[in-house]
Amino acid sequence: MFENILIATDGSEQSEASVSKGLDLAESLGSHVHSVYVVETEATYILTVGLGDDEMEEYKQYGEETVTGVVDRAADRGLDGTGVVRTGNVAAEIVEYAENNDIDLIVTGKQGRGAISKYIGSTAEKVARMSDVPVTIVGKGAK
């Protein structure tokens, strides 16, 4: 039923619960794990945070380390995994990846790294509204 599970992560402590739950689910179903990290490039975010070229490269490197960690954890459970770093609007990039890669379920955290997100709406809510793929939103206290 869920052959391909997408675990969207920003590498934050808050997203750890969604990564763990996503991996648990993938292991129980024998699913292929896709991990996606998106470097936000929306103008509002860049102006607020002040990202230059050096900072963008740092975020991309951090993203690579983050998705590699998820894929390695999947491999430790005997699962195949794919890790991808994208740039753009976080919710739109997650949904586009899901649509283009036969994803059966998106697993994401309730609130992550973006301090501005509480003012403009959470990424998880946007993904759930935009996606035709089922979305599971995991709170940071999930066990």
- Per residue in 37-61, pLDDT (tens digit) is 999 886 545 555 555 667 778 889 9
DSSP code at position 54: H
Of 92, 86, 90, 85, the residue nearest 67 (C-alpha): 85
The model's pTM is 0.87
Q: What is the residue range of 37's domain? A: 4-138
Sign of the dihedral through C-alpha 57, 63, 65, 71: negative
> Which of 74 and 121 is assigned the larger pLDDT?
74
Residue 143 lies in a domain: no
CATH, residue 84: 3.40.50.12370
Residue 46 lies in a domain: yes
Sign of the dihedral through C-alpha 62, 67, 73, 76: negative
Residue 93 lies in a domain: yes
Band (pLDDT 50/70/90 cuts) for residue 112 is: low
Residue 78 lies in a domain: yes
Q: Could you tell me the CA-to-CA distances from 96 to 6, 54, 93, 138 in Å, in that order?
A: 12, 26, 5, 21
Please tell me the total count of domains within the chain.
1
